[in-house]
């Protein structure tokens, strides 16, 4: 069985290697390109004001990597000295690992339990919601699609929008900063041919983003997905896959053992 990994190029490597080691024919077909932020000066400004927030929420590992890539040399918050003053919130292990690579003290990081049923904004809120009191200030570090760099922060997705609403409802305030930009890749002819064949040959598509599904459908205009199989990492992504016409959609936790079990269930 062939497995198609659609994550951005850098993020896809771990899944591709692990699945290949497990004996799967695995192909990387990145459906999102990740770029530096369109307005780096806003990230610089956020770093200068970081001490004024009670917490920083990072929506993804890319948000972490690109935010810290623009960290001023003199900024000390979020390291061991600053961890007791400001918390870092993340929704899953990938973002946690990115913070550790950035030398953030793990005692200053909050995330859902690794055995949680899902890694998302709702699971994170269950962990950190009690911290949010009137006057609590949070910065949400996110990405933006190429058409939404001037859009309201809620366009980053229903999960982040929901989390921000919970903070406001608890009396807190929310600010956003875009630390990276996403765009649809220009698929080469061989990549397009692969996508068209994999729509009906029994391949399993792995999706960890609704945006990736949208980019695939746009690149393969007119393609039927009724015979296509997908494993997705969240119920919102499952809704997108079904709306795009995927005939078989299986939801999975975003861990490699769970993904492998879901892939096996589709054989």
How far apart CA 215 and CA 55 sit, in angstroms, is: 33
Q: Do 46 and 178 reside in the same domain of the chain?
A: yes
Q: Do 15 and 45 reside in the same domain of the chain?
A: no
How far apart CA 35 and CA 203 sit, in angstroms, is: 29
Final residue belonging to a domain, choices 128, 158, 183: 183
Per-residue pLDDT of the chain (267 residues; tens, 9 = 90+): 899 999 998 888 889 999 999 999 999 999 999 999 999 999 999 999 998 999 999 999 999 999 999 998 877 667 555 545 789 999 988 899 999 999 898 999 999 988 777 788 999 999 999 999 999 999 999 998 754 433 333 333 556 789 999 999 999 999 999 999 999 999 999 999 999 999 999 999 999 999 999 999 999 999 999 999 999 999 999 999 999 999 999 999 888 899 999 999 997
Which residue range(s) make up the domain with 230? Answer: 2-32+185-265
Strands ordered across the beta sheet of 109-110: 33-35, 173-183, 137-145, 55-58, 87-90, 109-110
Please write the tens of the pLDDT for every residue from 219-237.
999 999 999 999 999 999 9
Instruction: Provide φ and ψ at 257, rounded to 5°.
Output: -60, -40
The CATH number of residue 240's host domain is 3.40.50.10090
Q: Do 68 and 110 reside in the same domain of the chain?
A: yes
Q: Do 202 and 116 reside in the same domain of the chain?
A: no
For 198-224, letters b (16+ CB in 10 Å) and e give: bbeeebbbbbbbbbbbbbbbebeeebe
**Number of domains comprising the chain:** 2
């Amino acid at each position: 069985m062939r497995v198609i990994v659609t994550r951005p190029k850098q993020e896809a490597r771990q899944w591709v290697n692990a699945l290949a080691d497990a004996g799967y024919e695995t192909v990387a077909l990145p459906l999102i390109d990740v770029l530096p932020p369109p307005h780096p000066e806003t990230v610089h400004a956020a770093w200068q004001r970081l001490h004024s927030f009670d917490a920083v929420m990072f929506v993804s590992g890319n948000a972490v990597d690109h935010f810290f890539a623009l960290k001023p040399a003199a900024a000390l918050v979020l390291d061991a000295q600053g961890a007791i003053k400001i918390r870092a919130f993340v929704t899953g292990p990938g973002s946690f690992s990115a913070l550790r690579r950035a030398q953030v003290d793990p005692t200053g990081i909050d995330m859902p339990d690794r055995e949680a049923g899902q890694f998302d904004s709702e699971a994170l809120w269950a962990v950190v919601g009690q911290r949010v009191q009137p006057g609590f200030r949070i910065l949400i570090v996110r990405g933006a699609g190429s058409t939404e760099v001037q859009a309201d922060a809620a366009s980053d997705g229903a999960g982040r929008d929901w989390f921000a609403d919970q903070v406001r409802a608890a009396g807190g305030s929310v600010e956003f900063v875009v630390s990276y930009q996403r765009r649809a890749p220009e698929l080469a002819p061989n990549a397009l041919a692969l996508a068209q064949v994999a729509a009906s040959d029994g391949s399993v598509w792995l999706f960890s983003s609704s945006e990736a599904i949208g980019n695939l459908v746009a690149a393969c205009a007119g393609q039927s997905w009724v015979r296509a199989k997908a494993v997705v990492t969240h119920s919102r992504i499952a809704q997108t896959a079904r709306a795009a016409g995927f005939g078989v959609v299986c939801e999975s936790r975003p861990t490699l053992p769970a993904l492998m079990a879901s892939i096996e269930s589709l054989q």
